[in-house]
Amino acid sequence: MSRVIARLKVKAPEWNPTALADVADRTERDPFRILIACLLSLRTKDETTGPAAERLFSLAQTPGAMLRLTPRQIERTIFPVGFYRTKARVIRGVCHDLLERFGGSVPGDLEGLLTLKGVGRKTANLVVTMGFGKPGICVDTHVHRISNRLGFVRTKTPEQTELALRRKLPRRHWIELNDLLVTFGQNICQPISPRCSICPVRRPCRRVGVTRSR
């Protein structure tokens, strides 16, 4: 897997970056805005997530400022992200929790983040890695699919994939893994008909489950 990661890192600058990587870069890796952007991204495409996050952060960049917005204001601002009404409530709940229990700061550890209602392991790991630069493995559908497609793991769920990767993957690759594989998955190793003809790691890839490719 280390060889695969090295090859992907060489090619990654040629691909379109993820919305969350863009948010991290533009906000100087602010944990709060990374957390909120990640919540917006759940079950939403990058082309919708990025602009919605930008609109929301133009109105509020801290938990306190976010709570000064009404639920309706947040809903209108983040629309059309998936489940925008539910996400508006979750965002307000998270901001309230951050102020009440963490002094307005985002906790920098997995355990603390997972106590926030609406924050799962994927979001928590992403904040830990992108926002704090600490080792963590964020597994979304791309990381789960590609890790299995490569033949590096044999798992049924993202949670199983995270545990398997924690056991097998050298710790030095943990922080970069999610953004690298998500970018790879969006640009080359797509769910249906991956672009194997131009894939930089086609030789070591076992192509598990691939029945059609380009």
Q: 84-115 pLDDT, tens per residue?
A: 999 999 999 999 999 999 999 999 999 999 99
- Give the span between the Cα atoms of 152 and 148, in whole angstroms: 6
Q: What is the pLDDT of residue 105?
A: 98
Architecture of domain 30-132 in CATH?
Answer: Orthogonal Bundle (1.10)
pTM of the model: 0.92
The distance of Cα 155 from the centroid of its chain, to the nearest Å, equals 20
For tokens 């490719």, the residue is: 213
CB 27 within 8 A of CB 49: no
- 87 in active site: no
Do 30-132 and 2-15+137-198 fall under one CATH topology? no
- 11 in active site: no
Catalytic residue among 122, 134, 168, 179: 122
- Domains in the chain: boundaries: 2-15+137-198, 30-132
* pLDDT tens-place string over residues 46-69: 999 999 999 999 999 999 999 999
The parts of the chain modelled with pLDDT lower than 50 are none
The secondary structure element, H or E, covering residue 126 is helix 121-126
- Give the span between the Cα atoms of 85 and 60, in whole angstroms: 18
Peptide bond into 80 cis (omega under 30): yes
Q: What is the pLDDT of residue 35?
A: 98
The CATH code belonging to domain 2-15+137-198 is: 1.10.1670.10
Catalytic residue among 30, 46, 87, 140: 140
- Give the span between the Cα atoms of 209 and 194, in whole angstroms: 11
- Give the span between the Cα atoms of 112 and 116, in whole angstroms: 7
